Chain A
Amino acid sequence: MSKEEKKVNRRDFLFTASYTIGAVGIGAVVWPLVHQMNPDKAQQALATTEVDISQVEPGNSITVLWRGKPVFLKRRTPDEIAEARAVNLSDLPDPQKDEDRVKEGKDEWLVMLGVCTHLGCVPLKDKGDYKGWFCPCHGSHYDLSGRIRKGPAPKNMEIPKFEFVDNNTIKIG
């Protein structure tokens, strides 16, 4: 390589190195500015809600607020459980067994996010063609296990993390 060419190569390397290192810096600066909009530590400190279910009769349900969204807690009668379990999985747009949506030994208790999986409206209870819930926004029907049966919603209503603190109390989250 001639001396001129050598000079040019060194110069190019220097400029390329400067730009590259500079770009790394700009990336490092951009990240905190983006990440600050993610849920902060207080939000993340998993806010949990405890619900007293001692007053709920079989066949009834209550709604509580958790993380800003409604949660349906329905206490099903044995007939309702049987009906939910008699459904053919191939009839379901989002196949899922009722047994997998409840806690073992506590089959009467259906705990799910009362948010339609289509576009987020709150479905109405005891309505619709499947004795479950009906979402008035775009006509999605859910059954006694909160599963989507008919309508534009793609998935069953979501089951959040929950546990029985004792027979009268459920902790969500």
Chain B
Amino acid sequence: MSDQDYTPKSKAGKWFNDRLPLLTLGAHLTDYPTPKNLNYWWTFGGILTFCLLTQIITGIVLAMHYVAHADLAFASVEHIMRDVNYGWLIRYIHSNGASMFFLAVYIHIFRSLFYGSYKSPREVIWIIGLLIYLLMMAAAFMGYVLPWGQMSFWGATVITNLFSAIPLVGDSITTWLWGAYSVDNPTLNRFFSLHYLIPFLILGLVVLHIWALHVPGNNNPVGIDIKKPSKDTVPFHPYITIKDTFALLMFMIIFAGFVFFSPNVLGHSDNYIPANPLVTPAHIVPEWYLLPFYAILRSVPDKLGGVILMFGAIFILFVLPWLDTSKVRSAVFRPIYRQFYWIFVLDVLMLGYMGAMPAEGIYLVLARVGTIYYFAHFIIVMPVVGLLEKTDPIPMSISEPVLTGGADPAIARKDNEKI
């Protein structure tokens, strides 16, 4: 960070800043040179920060009333919904907020996949982001257990049972996770503790995520490196802050639509039945944002194989920066990769749909096809297309396409010609 030339205006400010340079940090963030061509896909980082803070605040407030005991949990949630002042509102914001959080994170991730934001020199930002995503899934999974409904209990049973697939130590690990011989009160208690903890781990990682981002600066839709500051950049405030605010407000309208008019449509009605260890629901399904991984898990007939593939589906993302061989960053200039990108999007949506269906018949067949294609996209498509693709000429700067009316081959970099 090279803005040590900032001096606070007031004496008190200068005194404080000399001891803890928060005002310098503030100036850095305010003036931060940001590409001026960022489109709305870039507003989801800010939206995600809003989602995290919303979940933390509503979560802390809910924790003032929730009781993490198997005999009382379901009743305590009903107490929140019926008796606590605005309890219904805070609860519905929290439960729908989790869905909105994942909606935003998937858009954010798919932005990165399209525009090559994971590519050098942003590999560490990408990896930190994946760690945040993993923690989000852990927090969401445990959070869903807390109301102690049928889906809470049986979802917890299914997923914790997966660990027994590990050879030799699997059963011990599962018992250790449970704190009992099945999902029971000890499990609920520790899930509550960890559910409260994880968002603060995420908060810490978000700080690192943004810090790592500020080294190279933001990627942009044309994927070219820019100097900051330059005529290609604008100060973060007010240009990006106002745009992020606008996008956030649009997002909040959708959020409010769910909270106030359809607060249970994204959930499962079975979770309004108190947990019963003796009765298994006809179809156990996780929340929608975990469905693609659920489909991958169930597509393998072998228990351990399913677990390996499910985790593999996430871990393969970690090595994506090294699987993608393309020298061109943004899919805007990669006509072949672009097609595969949209097929990949459809594949993930299809896997999600299959995850909600029973694992039989045509659903199972499609889930298997989808799983194979998912891995093929990373292991085959990314390396091969990157090497063989003839990319479009990329502009020399961000401002240029505007001034010259489009990417003109004459001004393209010569070293970009590929067969």
- A residues sitting closer than 8 Å to B (CB atoms) are 32-33, 35-38, 40-43
Contacts and interface: CB of A to CB of B under 8 A. Distances in A.
B85 A32 contact: yes
Interface in B52-78: 57, 61, 64-65
A36 B61 contact: yes
B181 interface: no
17 contacts: A32-B85, A32-B86, A33-B57, A33-B61, A33-B90, A35-B86, A36-B61, A36-B64, A36-B85, A38-B85, A40-B65, A40-B84, A40-B85, A41-B83, A41-B84, A42-B79, A43-B83
Given A42-B79, A42-B83, A37 B64 contact: yes
B89 interface: yes
A10 B231 CA distance: 28
A134 B24 CA distance: 60
Interface residues of B, number: 13
B78 to A, nearest CB: 11
Contacts of B86: 32, 35-36
Contacts of B418: none
A29 to B, nearest CB: 9
5 A-B pairs with the lowest CB-CB distances in the bound complex, closest first: A32-B86, A40-B83, A42-B83, A41-B83, A35-B85
Contacts of B221: none
The binding surface of chain A is classed by DSSP as: helix
B90 A41 contact: no
Q: Which of B64, B85, B90 has the most CB of A within 10 A?
A: B85
A42 B75 CA distance: 13
Interface string B70-113: 00000000010011111101100000000000000000000000
A40 to B, nearest CB: 4
A43 B84 CA distance: 9
A79 B392 CA distance: 107
Nearest to A43: B83
Contacts of B57: 33
A10 B38 CA distance: 27
Contacts of A40: 65, 79, 83-85, 87
Q: Which of B57, B64, B65, B86 has the most CB of A within 10 A?
A: B86
Nearest to B54: A29
B248 to A, nearest CB: 11
Given A32-B89, A35-B85, 20 more contacts: A32-B86, A32-B90, A33-B57, A33-B61, A35-B86, A36-B64, A36-B65, A36-B85, A36-B90, A38-B85, A40-B65, A40-B79, A40-B83, A40-B85, A40-B87, A41-B83, A41-B84, A41-B85, A42-B79, A42-B83
Contacts of A32: 85-86, 89-90
Contacts of B90: 32-33, 36
Q: Which of A35, A37, A40, A43 has the most CB of B within 10 A?
A: A40
A71 B89 CA distance: 37
Contacts of A36: 61, 64-65, 84-87, 90
Nearest to A42: B83
Contacts of B87: 36, 40
Interface string B305-320: 0000000000000000
A33 to B, nearest CB: 6
A33 B85 CA distance: 9
Contacts of A41: 82-85
A37 B90 CA distance: 12
Interface in B89-145: 89-90
B93 to A, nearest CB: 9
Contacts of B89: 32
A43 B89 CA distance: 19
Q: Which of A36, A38, A40, A43 has the most CB of B within 10 A?
A: A36
Interface in B187-217: none
A123 B204 CA distance: 50
A36 B64 CA distance: 9
